[in-house]
């Protein structure tokens, strides 16, 4: 359980265990907290779509067949440290890799994941998820910004306006995530922000998961008349903010809002060939 | 205006719920990609034209626009007697930055990166630019201040997405105090690696232990760059 590698900056450092997985986060106040992250996938349900219980997982419906498979027991890692950024390059398997990145002046962790092409040699559709685990005691509650505006309170296995008898324990707790999903207790808060809308949930206290890629081999019979058979790789980013709720300056909410704005309206880059000019002229 | 209208029309089409959620047929999705790519290219072309006109206006005030690049002898010390050079560079977008590929930054000896901040408040932002890993680079802002930077390898899984174009390295530096709804430019020059006789390693050829030592060295002393 001890860290063999850590990367960080003046705000925090994150540690990795001997198997290459993210293991902990230490804040600038000296406190250390459990924080892990890994990828796994759900196997898509397969059926003839004639009755409810025989529906296939497809473009419209996320319906795992209750099988959750981890993609790796051990991760190949490469550590790069420099004056601007520190990175851990993780390779989970032939089709999942990730860069975990801590910039010198940013108060968040960046996860740049690359997933795919998802193999289907075994004729099983797969829905790949990135899961973050902490020891936050979230008491079945998590938050998503599903309407793209405010954070909406979600309670696991619960609906606000009717008594719920949930038959799909995983899919029934998934919600749209426009940019942000979070869990918190009285003291700490974990927030994971996305670079695009994704599905997400918190299926255990202190955990947050986001679906990053899907490849399914059967149509769900809701109109598209095609299997969601995405054959390509997807690259994207998650931004993780972890901190104390009480007395933090700026507050966690402020950090999340500013980061949202800076990532959704991130600066535009323009490139110019200035081979003909000297610096003084350019200046 | 016509390019903006075209982008608006395509964005209108892509508001369809099938485009948002991914419930369209595969060939329809591919057509959405074709349409939005064409619209983006049209608008970036327009942006290039407008920015070029702006640059010409700002750098060549009260002077007729001349298209010839400046000659080395045209560099001036006495502005009253020497003609001022005319600037005619283009502003290009690199739509493959998400797979770490950009033709200008990977092939040119000198290039400029202009960072436009669309937010109404000042921000700082880390810039990642694909570069050729066989060179050293120098990043300078408008105040002649060299900016601390780092050249870092891109994972081979990423370069495999675009094996012909992706360079395998990125130059990273911090762009500070980008003004609200404004821009800042950076002048980047590449130079041959300092130890020209040393063998040129690529990250993938170097044992991991050596890599980590080199990286630590770079972290501790910015002036002593390893040969790669």
Nearest Cβ partner of B90 from A60, A229, A272? A272
CB atoms A274 and B187 under 8 Å: yes
Cα A220 from Cα A55, distance rounded (Å): 6
Mean of the pLDDT values across residues A170-182? 95
Is the confidence at residue B207, as pLDDT, over 70?
no
In chain B, residues with a C-beta closer than 8 Å to the C-beta of A266 are 125
Please write the tens of the pLDDT for every residue from B22-81.
Answer: 888 989 999 999 999 999 989 888 888 887 787 777 766 655 555 555 554 444 444 444
pLDDT at B213: 38
- Kindly report the number of other CB atoms within 10 A of residue A249's CB atom: 5
Whether chain A has a CB inside 8 Å of the CB on B89: the answer is yes
Which residues of chain B from 22 to 41 reach within 8 Å of chain A, CB to CB? 22-26
How far away is chain B from the Cα of A5, in angstroms, using its nearest Cα?
Answer: 11
User: Is residue B49 within 8 angstroms of chain A, CB to CB?
Assistant: no
Q: Burial-class residue A263 by CB neighbours within 10 Å (0-12, 13-18, 19+).
A: middle
Alpha-helix runs per DSSP H in B22-134: 26-59, 103-107
Bond preceding residue B11 cis, omega within 30 of 0? no
Alpha carbon distances (Å) from B207 to A75, B152, B200, B201, B214: 17, 16, 14, 10, 11
Q: Which residue of A59, A105, A262 is in closest CB contact with B23?
A: A59
Taking only residues 210 to 249 of chain A, the set having a beta carbon closer than 8 angstroms to any beta carbon of chain B reads 222-226, 228-229, 233, 235
Res. A17 pLDDT band, cuts 50 70 90: very high
- Average the pLDDT over B150-157 and give the result: 91
Length, in residues, of chain B: 228
Tell if the CB–CB gap between B123 and A262 is shorter than 8 Å. yes
Interface predicted TM-score (ipTM): 0.90
B90 confidence band (pLDDT: 50, 70, 90)? confident
Whether A81 contacts chain B with CB within 8 A: yes
Residue A254 or B208, more confident: A254
């Amino acid at each position: 359980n001890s860290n063999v590698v850590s990367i960080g900056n003046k705000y925090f450092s994150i540690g990795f265990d001997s198997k290459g997985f993210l293991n902990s986060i230490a804040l600038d106040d000296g406190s250390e907290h459990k924080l892990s992250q890994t990828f796994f996938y759900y196997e898509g349900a397969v059926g003839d779509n004639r009755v409810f219980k025989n529906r296939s997982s497809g473009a419209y419906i996320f319906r795992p067949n209750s099988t959750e498979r981890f993609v790796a027991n051990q991760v190949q890692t490469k550590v790069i440290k420099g004056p601007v950024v520190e990175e851990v390059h993780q390779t989970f398997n032939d089709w999942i890799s990730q860069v975990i990145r801590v910039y010198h002046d940013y108060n968040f962790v960046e996860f740049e994941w690359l997933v795919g092409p998802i193999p289907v040699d075994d004729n099983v559709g797969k829905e790949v998820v990135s899961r973050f685990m902490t020891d936050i005691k979230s008491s079945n509650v998590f938050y998503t910004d599903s309407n793209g505006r405010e954070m909406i309170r979600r309670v696991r296995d619960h609906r606000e306006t009717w008594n719920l008898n949930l038959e799909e324990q995983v899919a029934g707790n998934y919600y749209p995530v426009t940019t942000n999903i979070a869990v918190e207790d009285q003291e700490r808060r974990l927030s994971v922000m996305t670079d695009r809308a994704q599905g997400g949930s918190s299926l255990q206290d202190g955990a947050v998961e986001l679906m990053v890629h899907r490849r399914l081999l059967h149509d769900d019979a809701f109109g598209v008349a095609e299997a969601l058979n995405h054959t390509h790789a997807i690259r994207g980013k998650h931004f993780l903010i972890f901190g104390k709720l009480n007395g933090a300056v700026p507050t966690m909410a402020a950090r999340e809002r500013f980061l949202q704005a800076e990532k959704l309206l991130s600066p535009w880059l323009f490139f110019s060939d200035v081979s003909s000019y000297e610096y003084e002229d350019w200046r | 205006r016509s390019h903006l209208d075209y982008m608006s029309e395509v964005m209108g089409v892509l508001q369809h719920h099938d485009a948002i959620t991914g419930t369209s047929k595969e060939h329809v999705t591919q057509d959405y990609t074709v349409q939005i790519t064409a619209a983006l290219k049209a608008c970036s072309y327009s942006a290039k034209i407008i920015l070029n006109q702006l640059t010409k206006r700002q750098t060549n005030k009260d002077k007729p626009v001349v298209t010839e690049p400046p000659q080395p002898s045209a560099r001036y010390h006495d502005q009253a007697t020497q003609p001022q050079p005319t600037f005619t560079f283009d502003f290009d977008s690199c739509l493959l930055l998400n797979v770490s590929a950009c033709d200008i930054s990977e092939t040119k000896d000198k290039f400029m990166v202009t960072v436009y901040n669309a937010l109404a408040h000042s921000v700082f932002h880390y810039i990642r630019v694909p570069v050729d890993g066989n060179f050293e680079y120098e990043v300078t802002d408008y105040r002649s201040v060299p900016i601390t930077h780092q050249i870092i390898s891109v994972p081979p899984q990423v370069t495999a997405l675009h094996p012909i174009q992706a360079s395998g390295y990125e130059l990273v530096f911090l762009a500070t105090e980008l003004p609200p709804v404004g821009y800042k430019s950076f002048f980047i020059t590449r130079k041959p690696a300092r130890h020209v006789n040393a063998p040129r390693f690529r990250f993938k050829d170097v044992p991991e232990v050596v890599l980590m030592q080199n990286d630590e060295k770079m972290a501790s002393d910015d002036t002593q760059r390893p040969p790669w």
